[in-house]
Each structure stands twice: as structure tokens, then as C-alpha cells.
Chains A and B, each alone.
Chain A
Amino acid sequence: MLDKVIFYFFAAIAVGSALLMITRKSAVHSAIFLTTTLLATAGIFLQLRAEFLFIVQIILYVGGIMVLFIFVIMLVNLDVAAQQIQYSRQKWVALALSLALAGWVGTMIWQAGQLPGQGLLVRGAAAAETLPPNAEAVAQSLFGPYMLSFEIASLLLLVAMIGAVVMAKKKV
């Protein structure tokens, strides 16, 4: 019961903020609504007992990426852009195609839901009390079988850091 309430609450906030995000004229407002969406997604992670991912989402996405976005929005003068037309010329075609895609995938998901056992390999998720401590489980997965991916991700971050610094310099 509590699970359901929490899920619907965060889901409503996530979808509502996302809709508001793509329709605002001011970029700062869009950034704030994206932050709200990300916080709601973090709430959904918490509801799914993925506590490590909940806090990593808040630290990295909200505390890192969104702060970066807001910095850039404040450094770039967007007053002119706010007075222009906000939507491109292909907006109706894009909307129609996206809704068609949504309808198609949505029907697929709904039909899968009608299958016995929902077409899944397991009956249902394990009870929350039997889960191992989440941070340890993720750490064992990251530093165990997926160590190579971990190292490659750190290399990617290094490359991105150097790239961003070079790109933002005034003279090269």
C-alpha cells in the first residue's frame, strides 16, 4: 500500500515535471523542472530498494550535472533566445511520430502484462527484507565481473574532462 502511494507520487512528479520542462521559455525554469524530475527518479530508485543508486543519482545528476547546466545557462545570455519561437518547424510531425512510437511500445508492454507470469523469467521480485545490503552488492558487481568497464568509464571521464577544458578555453 505504502509502496503504491510512493510510486504514484514520484511518478506523477516525474512525468509532470518532464512535461513542464520541455515547454518552458526560460532555460532556468527548464533546468529547475529537470532537477525535479531527477529527484523524483531518485525517489523511484529508493522505492525499488536501490539505495546506492538513489544517492549516486542525487550526488552526480542533481549535484553535478544540473549545477553544470545552471552555471552554463547563467553564463550564456539567453534573453534573446527567450523571445524567439521556441519550437522548430517539424514540431507536429515529431509529435505525431513520437506518439505513434509511444502507442506501439505501450501496446507491447500492455500485451506482455496480459501473458501468464507477465512473460518474465521469475515469478516476482524477492521480498525486500532478504536483499543483501545494496551498496555492497553494487560494489561487488562493479569491482568484480565489471572491473574492465569501470576502468574504461574512468578513462572516459578523463578524456571528457580534458575535452571540456580544451573546448572552453578562450585561445587554444
Chain B
Amino acid sequence: MMNHLYELLKIVLASPYTLPVIYGIVIVAVLPLVAGYVVLVERKVMADMQARLGPMRVGPHGLLQPIADAVKLLLKEDIIPEKADVWIFWLAPIVSMTAGMLALAPVGIGPAFQIAKDIDVGILFIAGISSLGIFGIVLGGWASNSHYSLMGALRSAAQLVSYETAAGMALVSGLLLGGSLQIRTLVEEQAKQGVWFVALAPIAFFIYLVASIAETNRAPFDLPEAESELVAGYMTEYSGFRWSLYFLAEYANMMVVGSVATTIFLGGWLRPFSSVGGAAGRAIDTVPGALLLGVAAYCLYRAPKQPVTVQKLVMVAVAGLCAAVAAALLAPVFVAQALWMKPAIHGAFWFLLKVGGYIYLFMWLRFTLPRYRFDQLMRLGWYFLIPVSIVNVMGIGIALVLHWERGMHLALALGLTTLMTLVVAGFLVRAELKREEQLRQAATGDAYAG
């Protein structure tokens, strides 16, 4: 009996499917916790930008706030509207969350951490599964049997569908430069060319940034879920656990979008100046560890100044954690035996840093810019972003042909076509401003106005 078990264990461990399944289970288990803490980070960042402190009560410095929120949501009463379609009401948040989590599968956090290894159509897979999330929103709005929900759902779905094209075209610009749909190949191309694609295709990065904010229903494009507009849009009738699934899906989507942008435009798991070797390379390699040691030192400095003992202990614990991670980061640089760990750990650190920066940009924009009205939102998507992204794809195609066939230097060709795209964008902006001017004149030039 024990022999059989041992044999089974050997087969399971040797199979190539074990590790991806374990990664998958880890992500599904860990993602809710991570999303909860991203919410805490957002509330703290919001507080910081609004000159206040944010959650401070639950746990030291509010660190247990997500756990308190999770417990509250799980214990809340499960309300289903009267004539709602129960089956679809139950299905909709699950579809949203499944799409969000599934899209994280091909994302390569480092050269070693990929659940769906080397899938031939990596980037397209993420874009496709993200478009499955639209279903969750539309079905949720319809199943609630409420006007606000249906309007919010249809508006949200229309917004997502409109900005999907622009986001896809912006990604295609990056893919043209990379030459493949595989995630690993894209990052290796950036390593080979020695430059992140954001420097070669800045307009594409900007378009993808704007389109991804609209794709995840974040401010300033969050009309479908704004509290002052449509109650909570498609999430109105959802309470407790189901609402937390939608919320989770939104934050998972944010992480997916950040990962895609990082992979294609920001160099994935490469460190800055990845082609520079030698002494300068080692200096850059010590930056992650030094950064975390600095954070640990700051925590230790602030520890005695905390008013309560528990908070002092938490600060010391955080300092210890940062120091341990810093040691793990510095070890491969200085200790030769640990060099094999370097690509994995350093790659993961740089990747997470870049994704974190991208998400911080999302939060920054949320607390700074006012909301777009829905028709302004659709105008921006269809009349500006889609034409500019299509012209951008054409421009990069022309630049690549000039570079490969005519031998023009890549930077020169790309510079020329970026200029062309900017000129086209300028024309579109001018036309838009003229139209607004006409509308304003028509409004104030009303003969019967008082």
C-alpha cells in the first residue's frame, strides 16, 4: 500500500503538469489576499494624497483592515432581488472572477514563474480572456432585474468593448517590434535590442495606458460604477460575498493589465540597462537589495516613535521582513554559489516593482482627475484613440520596413513615424476642439436664451 502511494507520488512529481497546477492553486489561494492588501494600499495612497492618514484602527497602522473587510463581507446577509434570475445572478460574479484569474496564467513574473509555459499565443490569450470578463458584467447587470444595474452594465460593457480595440492595436505596435506573441520571446527581444519597447513606441504605451484604465473601469473612466451616478452600476444589487468577487475581479484585472504593459513595454523582468554588464551591471544589481535595506532601516528608525507597543513590534517585524528579502536579493550578487537564483529572484523583484509602479499610476490618476461623462468617454475611445492607434500600427510597420529593407537606422525611422502619428493626433485634437467651440457657440448663441 505504501509502495503504491510512493509510486503514485513519483509519477505525480515527475509529470510536467504538477508544477503549473501548484502555481495555479497558489495564485487562486493567494490572489484574494493580495487584492485585499492592494485595496489597503489604495486607501493609504488616497489618504496620503488627501492629506490624511487612512485606515489606522484595525491592526497596527491598519494592516489588518483587509482581513476585517473580508470577514465582514463573508458574514453579511446574502440578498437576492425578488424577480432576479437566480441562476445567472449566481453565475455572473464567478465568470468575472474566473476570467480575471485565468488571465494571470501566462503572465511571466520572472523567467521561471509562468503557469502556462511558453504558450504560443501568450499576449493574445490574456487579451481574449480579459474580454470574457465583459460577460460577467453584462449578465450581472441583467440578472439583478433593476434599471440601474442594467443601464450600468450596458454602459460598462459598451465602454469595455470600445477600448478593447484601442488597447489591442496598441499591443500590436509592441508586438511588431517584438516579433512574436510569446511572452518569453518578447522580453528576450527587449533584452537583445537592449532597450525597452516603451522607448521605441511611446505613443503605443500611452494609448495602452489610457485604454487599460478604461478596460478596468477605473477613474477617470469609472462612470458605470460611480456612486453618485448609477448607485453602483451593475454591482448595485450584489452584497456580501458576491460583491467581493466582483471587487476581486476588478483588482485582478488591474494586475493583469499591469503585467501585460510591463511585459511588452517596460521590459518584463529585465533590470534597467540590462545589456550593460561588468561593474556598472553589478552596481545596478545591488539596487534592489539596497532599496529594501533602506526601507528596513527606515522602519527601525520609526519603531521607537510609535505610541503603542504593538505598533512598535509590527514596525520591527516589517523591518526584519524587508531585511530578509534584501538578503535574498543581495545574496546572488555577492555570493557566487547563489548565482543560479539570480534571474528568478531579481527578475521577480523588477517585474513586481514595475507592475506596482503601473498600478500606483492608476491610483494616482484616480485621485487626481475628475470623471469623464459617458458620451465624452465614447468620443474619446472611438474618435481619438482608435484612429491614433491604427495610424500608430501603420507607422511602426512602415518604420520596420524602412529599417529592414532600406537599412535606415531604427531610431531614425521610428522617430519619423512617431512624428507622423503625433501630427495625425494633433489634427484629431484640433477637430475635436473646433467641434466643442461650435457646440459652445450654438449653446450661447441661442436667440431665445434669456
Contacts and interface: CB of A to CB of B under 8 A. Distances in A.
Is chain B in direct contact with chain A in the complex (CB below 8 A)? Answer: yes
Contacts of A135: 120-121, 124, 181
A32 B139 contact: yes
Given A28-B88, A74-B138, A135-B121, A55 B157 contact: no
A62 B124 CA distance: 14
Contacts of A58: 128-129, 131-132
A9 interface: no
B161 interface: yes
Interface residues of A, number: 23
Interface string B106-137: 00000000000001110011011101101100
Contacts of B142: 28, 70, 74
Contacts of A35: 135
Contacts of B88: 28-29, 32
A35 B128 CA distance: 14
Interface centre among B87, B127, B128, B157 (most CB of A within 10 A): B128
Interface of A is mostly: helix
A133 B120 contact: yes
Interface residues of B, number: 25
B154 interface: yes
Contacts of A59: 124, 127-128, 131
Contacts of B161: 67
B188 interface: no
Contacts of A140: none
B124 A28 contact: no
Given A67-B157, A74-B154, A55 B139 contact: no
Contacts of B150: 74
A135 B128 CA distance: 15
B85 interface: yes
B138 A63 contact: no
17 contacts: A28-B85, A29-B88, A32-B88, A52-B121, A55-B124, A55-B128, A58-B128, A62-B131, A62-B132, A66-B135, A67-B134, A67-B135, A67-B157, A71-B154, A74-B142, A75-B154, A135-B121
